[in-house]
Structure 1
Amino acid sequence: MSFSEWPVVFDCEGERLVGVITKPHEQTCKTGVLIVVGGPQYRAGSHRQFTLLARELAKFGVASLRFDYRGMGDSEGDKRSFTEINEDIRCAISEFFLQVPTLSAVTLWGLCDAASAALLYAKQDVRVSNLVLLNPWVHTEELASYTRLKHYYLTRFLSISFWRKLFSGGVRIHSSFQEFSSSLRRTFFPKSKSLLFDSSARSGNRSQVASNVGHTNFIEKMQVNLQQFRGNVLFILSGNDLVAAEFLTLKQKNLAWRKVLRRDNVDWHYVPDANHTFSSVAWRNEVALVTYEAVRKISFFNN
């Protein structure tokens, strides 16, 4: 299917944001995909990931808008955290509806901290019907240390090559021991409230949890927002990525997250060998296909 692309410049609290619309020809698009950009990226993405995703979706008959929020890429404004872009997302959705008037709903698509930003925003906007979240960012020192213990040190200790290097002098024992002990300390004696041992879930009072969530405690706020979101949610996770592994650790160890991730509107798709940004053609095409399938899906929560 052929498609058109055109740039857009739109206002967000007095500053100009830059984006690109990709729309299939001769197609009435009722739902579109807003590609939220995160990390040190801009609207093209690593290895042109977002550009290629938008064009692949257009071939399936789906319109999209990818944009730079304030302080990123070609957009105006000061640099800001992914926890501070709610208004940018709201303005981008409004511009998307203006540029493609046939839209009635939008899917938010995000990778890493953009996935977290999408989840922090979605429940407050009735125009958001679905979420597609790739390797969401839930990083804490404790989660990172536990994940490193499980996915890195355990693998190393069970590896024959590691012991060969150790006995041949190829491993720096002192520094390796310091790193290992540091991971143990951060895992079992965290400086802040633990996410691994269900400290917030034990209260059983979600409203109390929600009221106590500050702007820095984004992981709890993500969980609360996911509980309240009524649309479909698709998590796409890489098999060769520590960010995805940290999210799986949170899922396994935190009761509140386990409960919300069992909801009937939550689906999963794993790409076993993929790296963080799904950089191969095969991985990228797989992501585009499952995104399209998610966009087509209508949630019974919204019926």
Structure 2
Amino acid sequence: MSRLPLTFECQGKRCGATLDSAPGTTGLLMVSGGNEVRAGAFNGASRLAREIATKAFPVFRFDRRGIGDSEGENRGYRKSRKDIAAALLAFRALAPQVERVVAFGNCDAATALMLASGAECDALVLSNPWVIDDETDTTPSPAAIRSRYASKLANPAELKRLLTGKVDLRKLVRGLGRAAQPRPTASSLAEEAREGLAAFLGPVTILLAENDRTALHFAEQWDDSDTRIRRCPNAGHAYAGEAAHVWLRAQLLEALRA
């Protein structure tokens, strides 16, 4: 296994990428979310790529246009289909033994793959998909509030604060009121993502970090009976803790070995 920094072209712009080489015929294409560079939050994507490559699966990571080492304008996840397609072509050219590509995206990278109906990849691992129409809306969803209160009720110190009158009861009542609200109508973005994913015929795994607001929003707007959903307990958005990281790696290896 070796790590190769490289560049590839997308629409006349040079994009930065990294290939963790391995001999396997199934490879992992990692799509970055938000304005995150290909190393990932807390360098997590870089570490994950190295670990997966040691299991004989090559891994390709890239910065879309306008991010990190890549030239051009950052046009956001909705207009990243061509970036993903160009990265896939580069991956296949640099690792010609690869016959099957599993794409992995977290947050809006997952949404980008859904909107692109898989972007010509063979399988998808979609983590904490972003389905909030208004990106400036920071209001917690009813599911997020319920999750927060469940965590507090399980904490003896928080229960002591409640019993000793150290909790703002008016704020508590408002929060409980919001928590009791019915499931919201699916956002237009959630419907677009649903339609895009329905056109993808390959295997799909949906990963949700149980302590992540984005994942909670997604769960509220998705089908509860979807058997493709797997939940990581006590995990945040970036799976930064060791137990969450190990869980994420296991999910990706399972998809690669399928």
**What TM-score comes out, normalization by structure 2 length?**
0.85
**1:102-141 residue pairs with structure 2 within 5 A?**
102-123=97-118, 125=120, 128-139=121-132
Contact 2:64 2:70 in 1 (8 A): yes
TM-superposed CA distance for 1:240, in Å, is 2.2
Structure 1's unaligned 5+ residue stretches are 197-216, 252-256, 298-303
Partner of 2:191: 220
Contact 2:84 2:119 in 1 (8 A): no
Q: Hey, what's the Cα distance between the residues in 2 that align with 1:183 and 1:73?
A: 39
- 2:141 partner SS: helix
- 1:275 partner SS: coil
Partner of 1:148: 144
TM-superposed CA distance for 1:37, in Å, is 0.3
Q: Hey, what's the Cα distance between the residues in 1 that align with 2:30 and 2:122?
A: 14
TM-superposed CA distance for 1:179, in Å, is 6.3
Query: Among residues 222, 225, 231, which one is paired with 1:270 in the alignment?
Result: 231
Contact 1:143 1:249 in 2 (8 A): no
Query: Among residues 48, 51, 63, which one is paired with 1:53 in the alignment?
Result: 48
TM-superposed CA distance for 1:270, in Å, is 2.6
- 2:215 partner SS: helix
Partner of 1:77: 72
**What TM-score comes out, normalization by structure 1 length?**
0.73
Q: 1:28-63: per-residue Cα shift (whole Å, max 9, x none)?
A: x32211100012421111121111111111111100
Partner of 1:13: 11
Q: Hey, what's the Cα distance between the residues in 2 that align with 1:163 and 1:120?
A: 44
Query: Among residues 84, 96, 101, which one is paired with 1:101 in the alignment?
Result: 96
- 1:122 partner SS: coil
Residue 182 to residue 15, structure 1, CA distance change in 2 (3 Å) = farther
**1:283-294 residue pairs with structure 2 within 5 A?**
283-294=244-255
Structure 2's unaligned 5+ residue stretches are none
Q: Hey, what's the Cα distance between the residues in 2 that align with 1:123 and 1:35?
A: 13
Query: Among residues 167, 171, 195, which one is paired with 2:186 in the alignment?
Result: 195
TM-superposed CA distance for 1:106, in Å, is 1.1
Residue 147 to residue 5, structure 1, CA distance change in 2 (3 Å) = same
Q: Which structure shows the higher helix fraction?
A: 1
Query: What is the aligned-residue identity percentage?
Result: 29
TM-superposed CA distance for 1:5, in Å, is 1.1
Q: 1:75-110: per-residue Cα shift (whole Å, max 9, x none)?
A: 112222211111110110011111111122211101
- 2:148 partner SS: helix
**1:178-257 residue pairs with structure 2 within 5 A?**
180=175, 183=178, 194-195=185-186, 217-251=188-222, 257=223
Contact 1:17 1:76 in 2 (8 A): yes
Contact 1:148 1:183 in 2 (8 A): no
- 2:67 partner SS: coil
Residue 47 to residue 98, structure 1, CA distance change in 2 (3 Å) = same
TM-superposed CA distance for 1:153, in Å, is 4.5
Q: 1:180-235: per-residue Cα shift (whole Å, max 9, x none)?
A: 399479x5698xxx228xxxxxxxxxxxxxxxxxxxx3211111122221111112
Partner of 1:91: 86
Q: Hey, what's the Cα distance between the residues in 2 that align with 1:88 and 1:296?
A: 26
Contact 1:237 1:269 in 2 (8 A): yes
TM-superposed CA distance for 1:6, in Å, is 0.8
Rg larger in structure:
1
- 2:5 partner SS: strand
